[in-house]
Every structure is written in C-alpha cells, then in structure tokens.
Chains A and B, each alone.
Chain A
C-alpha cells in the first residue's frame, strides 16, 4: 500500500506548496536580476514530484510491519506536551517525561521522579544560571522569575 501512498502524499504536499509559491510577490521585470522568488522553490518541488513518480513506478516495495502501540502512545504524548507547554514549558516537559517513562514500562518511584522533576529542574537551572537563557513565563517558571 505504502508503495503508492507515500509518493502520493509527497506529491500532494508538493502540489500544495507549489500552489502557495504562485502567491509570492513578484519583482517587476525591470528590477529583476537573476530569478523570481518563486522560481527556485518551484524547481525543487518539480524535482521532488518527478522523483516521487519514479519511486512509485520503479522502486522495490518494502514490507512495513505495523507501528507498535508504544510509538502511537509516544506520538500522543507529543500532543499532550504541545498543549501543556502552553501553560508552562517545564510543566509540559515534566508531564511528558513522566508519562513516557510510565508508558514504556517504568514503575519505580525514584526513576519517575528523576525524569519528571530532577532532570527538567537541573536543565532549567543550568540554562538559566550558566547560559543566561530566559525561558517563557508560565505556571512554574513564574515561581522563579517572580
């Protein structure tokens, strides 16, 4: 199935990107030196489309096993992270790390605490104190930033 599905998906993406590229501003011909802004991306997209057709027609199909449940769970946790990071980046990281370790079979309290609390806290203080990186304000970072 993926023999045609993946190239079709790539071609559809390239088609959409090509259409978007036709909406770019154009430089008046009298001022133009070299290429229009859309020319280069369009050339690349056409190349990808042509090669994808070749893949669909000539490449040996590969058998893919089912994606394991743990991968789907991990992908779902990415979504959870993306949402919880809106409240606070480190809250999101803590929730994600704890949930991922749990989903992968970790049940020991000290290990879950390490990944969910100790490591995000250490990384936060390392970047904040040593590298002077300012993190976005949120529920937890406000406790430090005041």
Chain B
C-alpha cells in the first residue's frame, strides 16, 4: 500500500499541478458562492475543460471543485442567509442568527475549521476504506455486480427533492436513456433514429450539463425578484478555546456520520448535514440554542457535509457506484478519460487513485486559508447579477457540451435535457436520479446480460448466491424499509399518526 501512496503523492507534487489545484480551489469556492451554482453544476460545467488534460490533473480538478464548492456554501449561508449549496441549508439555521448578532467572523471560522476537520477525516477514511472495499469486490462475478448496481439504484429512492416513487421513475428514465445506441451484447442499434452520433449512446456530459446547468437557468428565471442582503462582517476570527472545547465531540461525531452517509450509494452531503445537525442538537447540553445561533449547530452541519465528500468517493472509486450527485459527474469524468472505476483501479491505476486521495486532502487544507481570508470577498460574488451570470453560464454550457465529441447533436441534447430537467423539477421529479440512472444503466444491462449467460438464462439462480441475495435484501430494505418503519412508528406512537 505504501508504494502507490508515495507514488500518488509524488505525482501530485508537480508545481504546475499545485497551482492548478489552488486555482480550482478558488474556482470551487466562487462556484459554491454563486447563486444557483453548486458543486454538481460546477463539476458538470468544468468537465469539458478537463478533456484535453492528463487523467490525474483532470480528475483532481473535479474533486477539488467538489470539496471547495461544498465548503463555500457555508459562506453565503452565514452572511446572507442563502445557502450556496443545498448541503449548507442547515448552516443557515444557526449561521445567519450568529451573523446578525455581529458574530459572522466566529461563525465563518467555525464553519471553516469544522469543514476542514470533517474533510480530512473523511479522506483518511477514503484512503483506508476504498482499497479494502475494492479488495472485497475483486471476486465479484456479474450477478453480484448486477445486484450491487440494483442496490445503488434503489438508494435513489431516498435522495433529491422528489418522493421515492418519483425518484425511482427518474432513475429508471436515466436507465432507459442509457439503452440508446448499440446493444453491447448483440450490436443491434436501438432508438438511434438514423443518427450515427447516437450509435455510441447518449453522452453523459451533454445530459449532465443540461439537467444541472441549463435547467437551473430556467429555475433562476422564476426567481428574478429575490433580493439578497449581506450582514456586515468585521473580521474573521478563529473560534476560541471555549468554542473548541464545546464542539470537538460534535465535529468528530458529525465527521463519522458524514463519512458513513457519503459511503452509502447515491446519498450525499445534503442528507449528511441534516443528520449531522440533528445529532448535534440531540447530544448538545444546550439544545435550546439551536436555530438561534448555536456554534455546535454550525460545527455539526459543516463537519458532516464536508466529510460526506470523501465518503462519497469510496463507492465511486472502489465499485463504480456514485456516492453522491457530484460523484456521478466525477464518475462520468473518469469514463470520459477511459478510466474504469472498480476493484482494478487499486491494482492497475493505484498511483492515479492515491493521487486523487492526496489532492482531496490538499484541498481541505487549502480552503482553511481561502475560507478564513477570502470569505469577505467571496460573499460579494453572490451579488453578481443573475442577468449577467446566467447568459455567460449558458455560453459555457453549450460550448462545453459541444467540445467533447465536437457534435452539434450534443448541443441540442444539452438544451433538450435542460428543458426536460426543468419540467421534471417543477413536477417534483429530482434530476439527480436521472443522472445516476444514466451512468449506471449501461453497467446494469451489461451485468444482467453477462449474468444470464453465466447462469444459462436461469435468472432465479442469482438468489442462490449469498452476496447477490444480500444485495437484493438491502435493495428491498432501501425501497420498503422507510414505509415499514413509518407504519411501525405510527402504531407505537399514535401522536405521530394524528399529527399532534
């Protein structure tokens, strides 16, 4: 393990790459602070810029954007009560009241330190857990992979803004889109309508740019009248010794929670921050302060959402199952660069994998400085008029969609995906499951086909394999568990069922 660890670090020590990563950290913080942009949209928009780069800098930039933008959401959450990313929504609850009391600097300092500690802990877990998980998955046969992918897709039920049913429909729609193009096993063309460009399937990049970037443009069109006001901030100061004494347990607990939530397929920083915040309140000696400016609330939410970034990369790199929406974009980036995530990544591309880990560790250190010294400036970024910002984002989106395959069809796919994405969001269908379904769809069909060949078309034999059965049981629990738990809970506590 030590050899690839050192090789990865050496690969990252190129001065040009370090400058690039620092620029990416600044870019990520700006993206996280800009209205309507978040880590996922930012990574999707910047993905085309990385296509001509070597894999290590390309993916390191995307992961840096991921970590930095997730952190930056806290800046606007605290200073203007507008979470830059959905993962920072819980930070508003205590960050903004603190800022209104003239303690914006203390709140930002706590958010920065908690994010950094959470991020570092999760990356260390990533370094340890990902190779172990990959080693475990090394002996998986197609039926195990198929069942694992089904489990990954079933986890989509609980993410995003939609109801579980709508999320699964959106995920299945993504899987359906993945069937466009040549069938891998028979080479028969499907849904190509005579377009040669569609033979290889619908590209991930134009769809992601469309559903995350262009659909957000239409969402922003609904919110043109929203006004933002900034709280005056005197100076950033580090949390006091009393603050540290009060929050260290919360930070460690939330880091553990965030890393675990991140590892679960498809769950991301938003869920982690909510659970981290709730647990911080549950364990706090002063729960009455939560929602009114509790420093523990900020620490709980920020440590959890940033630690989810490292956790989310564990299944992404080790199994090829995205751990969060942004990890799905990074997975698309890996595929664009011809890299195959999965167990072989830690044997055949170990240097690459460890270079990515080191880059994530580095960015978590970098944004201490960016967060502490640049927060005042980055908060101003939020006031860039949307009338100027979004036409420019559209230009970047379209050129980015075109650039990968240099095809105008991809431009129209991006615009079409944007329109579909907007109406999906409007009618309560989250676009995140669509993106993950599109990425996993090809793998799902391939593994099912291989399993049927392996088992001589006797699909029921899959249930005789212990690991496959385990993944199917987990799938069942992911889909129906929340429903059963709710029913059980309601029976035990009639107050809940009556809504009192």
Binding site for B on A (CB under 8 A): 2, 6, 10, 17, 20-21, 24-25, 27, 33-38, 40-41, 44-45, 47-48, 51-52, 54-55, 58-60, 62, 64, 67-68, 70-71, 73-75, 78, 81-82, 85, 89, 93, 96-98, 100-101, 104-106, 111, 114-116, 119-120, 123-124, 127, 131-136
Contact = CB atoms under 8 A, between A and B. Distances in A.
Interface string B145-187: 0000000000000000001011011001101100100010110
A21 B189 CA distance: 10
B220 to A, nearest CB: 9
A71 B385 contact: no
Given A62-B428, A100-B390, 13 more contacts: A21-B191, A34-B452, A34-B457, A37-B183, A82-B412, A82-B415, A89-B402, A89-B411, A97-B391, A101-B388, A104-B387, A119-B395, A120-B395
B222 interface: yes
A81 B408 CA distance: 12
A82 B401 CA distance: 14
Contacts of A68: 221-222
Interface string B383-409: 001111011101110110011001010
Interface of B: 49, 51-52, 163, 165-166, 168-169, 172-173, 175-176, 179, 183, 185-186, 188-191, 217-218, 221-222, 224, 385-388, 390-392, 394-396, 398-399, 402-403, 406, 408, 411-412, 415, 418-419, 422, 426-428, 445, 448-450, 452-453, 457
Contacts of B396: 123
Given A37-B188, A104-B221, A115 B388 contact: yes
B387 A101 contact: yes
A52 to B, nearest CB: 6
A78 B218 CA distance: 11
A81 B402 contact: no
B427 to A, nearest CB: 5
Nearest to A115: B391
Contacts, number: 162
Contacts of A81: 398, 415
A16 to B, nearest CB: 11
Contacts of A33: 185, 453
B452 A35 contact: yes
Given A17-B191, A70-B221, A127-B403, A35 B387 contact: no
Top 10 nearest A-B pairs by Cβ distance? A97-B391, A106-B387, A37-B188, A115-B391, A34-B449, A37-B183, A41-B179, A104-B387, A70-B221, A34-B452
A48 B222 contact: no
Contact of B175 (A6, A44, A133): A44
Contacts of B457: 34
A70 to B, nearest CB: 4
A125 to B, nearest CB: 11
A101 B387 CA distance: 5
Given A71-B218, A75-B419, A101-B388, A48 B394 contact: no
Nearest to B180: A41
Nearest to B53: A131
**Which of B189, B221, B426 has the most chain A CB atoms inside 10 A of its CB?**
B221
Nearest to B399: A123
A101 B490 CA distance: 51
Nearest to A81: B415
Contacts of A133: 402-403, 406
B188 A105 contact: no
7 contacts: A6-B427, A37-B183, A59-B165, A64-B427, A93-B395, A105-B387, A111-B388
Contacts of B406: 133-135
A44 B185 contact: no
Contacts of B445: 40
